[in-house]
Amino acid sequence: MKIITVNNQFQGAEVALDILKDKLAEGAKTLGLATGSSPEAFYRALVASNIDLTQVASINLDEYVGLSKENPQSYHYFMEQHLFKHKAMKAHFLPDGQARDLEKAAKDYDHLIEQHGIDLQILGIGRNGHIGFNEPGTDFSSQTHVVNLTPSTIEANSRFFDRKEDVPTQALSMGIASIMSAKSIILFAYGAEKAEAIAAMVQGPLTTELPASVLQEHPDVTVILDEAATSLLK
């Protein structure tokens, strides 16, 4: 893992844009995208840049079960607001959290990931070390699946909802194996509340109890952190 400490998210976004430019120059055609506050500055910088994504497709990590695309808390809506409506791309894909048959939607999503292949995956990290919505205990060989969100994730994500009761209890998420299949990965983490997860990801044992620890096994991961997120690193 390559660890880069930056002063703030704007600097982090610039570092990530440089990596993205290199990957596009090498022929990257598919980006794996993430939601959450961690990649926001990156999307803003990407929108403001002259980087051409018209030949590039995106595949998002996850979506809540049961929220419509128009719901401001859905990840469809987040992506539309933060990136898609500002930047032309070849195609966008997100899991269909409203599918009647979620198991089929998960299988279809795996086919899509296989067909495209992910060249560069953007990630954030949950306070409990989750990536995508792969909660502690998720098998490293998992593919797209329906997830029961943990109380800790529901609590953390309730800040985006009016009431905690409004947070969906399930999501459709790309699996850990799908994330690991990406050729390159950039993970952003900012703030003291991520320090524990980052320390465990980087120097803890490889364990499904800390899903992001699997990234120790990936050959091309860049971790972009602010000082606060590095505070528990040795």
**Residues within the interface to ligand GLP (CB under 6 A):** 34-38, 61-62, 124-126, 132-133, 153, 157
Residue 192 Cβ, how far from ligand GLP at the closest point, in Å?
12
Residue with the shortest CB distance to ligand GLP? 124
Distance between CA atoms of 87 and 102, rounded to whole angstroms? 30
Phi-psi region of 117 (alpha: psi -120 to 50; beta: other; left: phi over 0): left
Residue 100 Cβ, how far from ligand GLP at the closest point, in Å?
23
* Active-site pick, 40, 96, 119, 128: 128
Q: Which CB atom, from 28 or from 79, has the smaller least distance to ligand GLP?
A: 79
Contact 153, 169 (CB under 8 A): no
Closest CA to 32 of 122, 138, 99, 108: 122
Q: Which CB atom, from 30 or from 35, has the smaller least distance to ligand GLP?
A: 35
Active site residue 157: no
CA-only gyration radius of the chain, Å: 16
Active site residue 139: no
Residue 122 Cβ, how far from ligand GLP at the closest point, in Å?
9
Distance between CA atoms of 198 and 120, rounded to whole angstroms? 20
* Active-site pick, 40, 62, 63, 119: 62
* Active-site pick, 76, 130, 134, 145: 130
Residue 128 Cβ, how far from ligand GLP at the closest point, in Å?
9
Q: Which CB atom, from 142 or from 153, has the smaller least distance to ligand GLP?
A: 153
Per the listing, tokens 């994730």 go with 153
Active site residue 128: yes
Distance between CA atoms of 220 and 198, rounded to whole angstroms? 17
As separate numbers, helices (DSSP H) first and strands (DSSP E) second, the chain gives 8, 10
Active site residue 130: yes
Q: Which CB atom, from 34 or from 55, has the smaller least distance to ligand GLP?
A: 34
Contact 127, 197 (CB under 8 A): yes
Which tokens hold the place of 7? Answer: 């002063």
Q: What residues are annotated to the active site?
A: 62, 128, 130, 135
